[in-house]
Structure 1
């Protein structure tokens, strides 16, 4: 990150440029790395409802999608504490101090407001800014807005407009009381800083069952009625992916903080609209990428960042098992967000290319088995294997370094990390340079003991509540999680398809 922080050149964004596909409109975006701020969404773009992986597809493209940087993005100053859920949020006074411009300092341009400048138009059909039009391929007089990721963390809500600060506890409503919603209800009900005040589901029996376990919560089957209640500060959405965008957008426009399950949305356009709505409302938009709150994953990052593996070469992800087969989206959009969020957390580099092959064995047109390969900056590669049709459950991450390897198992009954030491003898000390095998002189495994802590979901819920109370950007904010959606969409554009549903 240090090599990007010093970059002061203005006007940057990343565009997904498909090889072999028709050129995108000017509103097209690219997939920057998770740690890079995002450009603002074009006002002229409209969100289009879609169901990922369902129905007919265009002819498969055999080429990869290249994610190429078109310019360098002027980064806004950000407190490093916002990225670590294990640390307490900085006091409000310190945040205000960081936001003040420092006279003559090297970061003065990041903290102080500058006169707005024109930005490059994307081409014919690009949306125009306030007070000026854009010519195709020329300069646009539209004012350049600050990066959404920076604004999501820096924007503050006046105390009079947010009752959470005065009450001290966050009133939470859980929407969607099925399998995962009941887990969220249990988790938020156990938090001292939160109080469950609302329950919502289309099935009255689900509402009644949950209301019996939480007598202080009022249940309803009317989502609009829930959003109009004054005793609801935050909405927790445990609904199918196809409903994330519409329901989260309605909640943000009603002035509610939002927790939404992964993925943030089923298109980059919808995701950007949610991020912009959260910025305008001054509310927290949180994406439940639960594995980033696992202390074992955070220990993996600590080892990698300290150089414990040497130079990282490759990461491998396997998320396999039987059951919970979805009808409204495929295995790529349901399972890959976990692995992509871990990848971009452990190795925060830009994704340059993505290749994806999908198999549809259970339902026509809906992939239930996927193999993907990603190429990242610096020669790092990643392999992702996902399946809803596998006899053993596993959620495994392997990181290969030049000096050591690290393996993580995320299934809760088998959670753990193992460090592998290895050495390869390249000296040819025996003088036989024609030997067909390079000997491995050392290989040993050691399971690492990490102090026990609360379950990752409880840590994620606690972090969400603290972000609402302190008005800070969470580790898995909508702006940060949008990078995951961009990689998901870019890879799907280059996907090929096989398999045949019976």
Structure 2
């Protein structure tokens, strides 16, 4: 049944396009400029292409949407889709605050709609294997985890290294340990764009003294993806740096000489076979299955609250000025001039500019690159789409 609309056909969106088409479920593709993708339209002539979101919301044959647009647009598009009665699969991050995610969850619950977030590592066979090793106690007492995720970025960035890169590893660390850290610290570097960190270093302390250190960067000479877990009875290294992912178990163990002197017993690494499972395909299959059966997916959006809470906390450490409580949301890249009033529940997104003397009502949504003012009044419950002045 062709009942899925895909929003966005960038690099990642095109991967989803191919998968959804192979599954025979793709009804419509939305993009701001369909002419730009004329070659893709020729390859998929039976798919409807549109630049009008209203056609997606108002088409009864479309039961669900898959959102693969730039990250700043995710909350607004998710809300609009749920309001239109569509089930949602949204790539990460679904939301940029726990409060924002709770609002979307409430809307999905009230309308009895499937709401799933895309966190592909939860479907990776290597991550599943590591979780099994931890459950079986093969690593002994876990001591620390470290990750490195570096990818040469496409500038200007639409998402920083925390929300775009580190969030992958933060998610699996929380999944492995099943709890929030007792302490967290982040250092970020924004050398090219203010308020958009291209490199972050994160350090977390968990119960029982377990440590986690994560490095993520868009500003790097080469692609790096590596995750290491170290325990008293074994160590494991997951790498995606070669032509195919690898997982090695190092049965090194800490032994105590005379019960007092620690000694590391080194043994040969054991390669752990990984099934040829494509994580993205498994993730989409889970979404489609749950759409048909009404079951709960592995990355149900409610399961993303812990990682959203942690990422929001780390983000506020990077930008302390965002910690002051206020009843509305302004993205760090937006500019708010003096003598501006903003109503409760309003959300102002990336690179928007509210000029002096303007008044924005309650529960409004201002998309990306919106300019308001000077001395303009916007009423309550208004939505201003991207790139409007």
Interval of TM-score (by shorter of Structure 1 and Structure 2): 0.7 to 0.9
Contact 1:207–1:219 (8 Å) recurs in 2:
no
Compared CA separation, residues 206 and 270, structure 1 to 2 (3 A): farther
CA distance, structure 2, for counterparts of residue 354 and residue 317 of structure 1:
15
Contact 2:232 2:253 in 1 (8 A): no
Cα distance in 1 between the residues matched to 2:319 and 2:55: 44
Please point out which of 210, 214, 230 is paired with 1:380: 210
| Shift >6 Å, 4+ stretches | none
Displacement of 1:462: 0.3
Q: How far apart, in 2, do the equivalents of 1:218 and 1:441 lie?
A: 61
Where does structure 2 lack aligned partners over 5 or more consecutive residues? 321-389
**How far apart, CA to CA, are the structure 2 residues paired with 1:178 and 1:329?**
14
Verify: 1:171 aligned to 2:3, yes or no: yes
Residue 442 of structure 1 pairs with residue 287 of structure 2: no
* Residue equivalent to 2:276: 452
Is the CA contact (8 Å cut-off) linking 1:354 and 1:494 kept in structure 2? no
| Local SS of the residue matching 1:481 | helix
Q: 1:371 aligns with which of 201, 210, 214?
A: 201
| Residues in 2 aligned to 1:307 and 1:336: alpha-carbon distance in whole angstroms | 26
**Cα RMSD, aligned residues only:** 2.0
Deviation at 1:304, TM superposition (A): 0.9
d(CA) in 2 for partners of 1:390, 1:228: 44
Q: For residues 36 and 61 of structure 2, what CA distance do their matches in structure 1 show? A: 21
- Equivalent residue pairs, number: 320
Separation in 2, partners of 1:493, 1:482: 16
Q: How many angstroms does 1:449 deviate by?
A: 1.2
Shift of 1:439: 4.5
Task: Say if 2:28 and 2:47, in contact at 8 Å, map to a contact too.
Answer: yes
C-alpha distance in 1, partners of 2:165/2:70? Answer: 13
Q: Deviations over 1:236-261 (max 9, x none)?
A: 11111111011010001111111111
Distance in 2 separating the partners of 1:459 and 1:354: 32
| 2:257 aligned to which of 427, 439, 446 | 427
Does structure 1 retain, via aligned residues, the 8 Å contact 2:4–2:27?
Answer: yes
Q: Give the secondary structure class of the aligned counterpart of 2:315.
A: helix
The 1:427–1:300 alpha-carbon spacing in structure 2 relative to 1, beyond 3 Å, is same
Q: Is the 8 A contact 1:409 1:416 kept in 2?
A: yes
What is the aligned counterpart of 1:215 among 42, 45, 62?
Answer: 45
Q: Pick the aligned partner of 2:308 from 485, 490, 496.
A: 485
User: Which string of whole-angstrom CA distances, capped at 9 and with x for unpartnered residues, describes residues 438-485 of structure 1?
Assistant: 6433232111112323x1100000001001111111111111112211
Aligned pairs (5 A) from 1:194-209: 194-209=24-39
Q: Go from structure 1 to structure 2 and tell me whether the alpha carbon gap of 1:170 and 1:219 turns closer, same or farther (over 3 Å shift).
A: closer
Q: Are the structure 2 counterparts of residues 412 and 209 from structure 1 closer, same or farther at C-alpha, using a change threshold of 3 Å?
A: farther
Q: Distance in 1 between matches of 2:35 and 2:262?
A: 64
Cα displacement (A) at 1:368:
0.8
2:159 is the counterpart of 1:336: no
Q: Which has the higher contact order (CA 8 A, sep 6+)?
A: 1
Distance in 1, matches of 2:286 and 2:52, equals 28
Following TM superposition, by how much is the alpha carbon of 1:428 offset from its aligned partner in structure 2, in angstroms? 5.2
Counterpart CA distance in 2 for 1:325 and 1:312 is 38
Three-state SS of the structure 2 residue aligned to 1:413 is coil
Distance 2:245 2:281 in 1: 16
Of 89, 109, 119 in structure 2, the residue corresponding to residue 279 of structure 1 is 109
In the alignment, which residue of structure 2 is the partner of 1:399? 229
Q: State how 1:217-232 maps to structure 2 within 5 Å.
A: 217-232=47-62
In the other structure, the counterpart of 1:248 is: 78
* Deviation readout 1:289-313 (Å, 9 max, x if unpaired): 0111111111111111111111212
CA contact (8 A) 1:199 1:211 kept: no
After superposition, the Cα gap between the structure-2 partners of 1:441 and 1:291, relative to the gap in structure 1 and judged at 3 Å, is closer
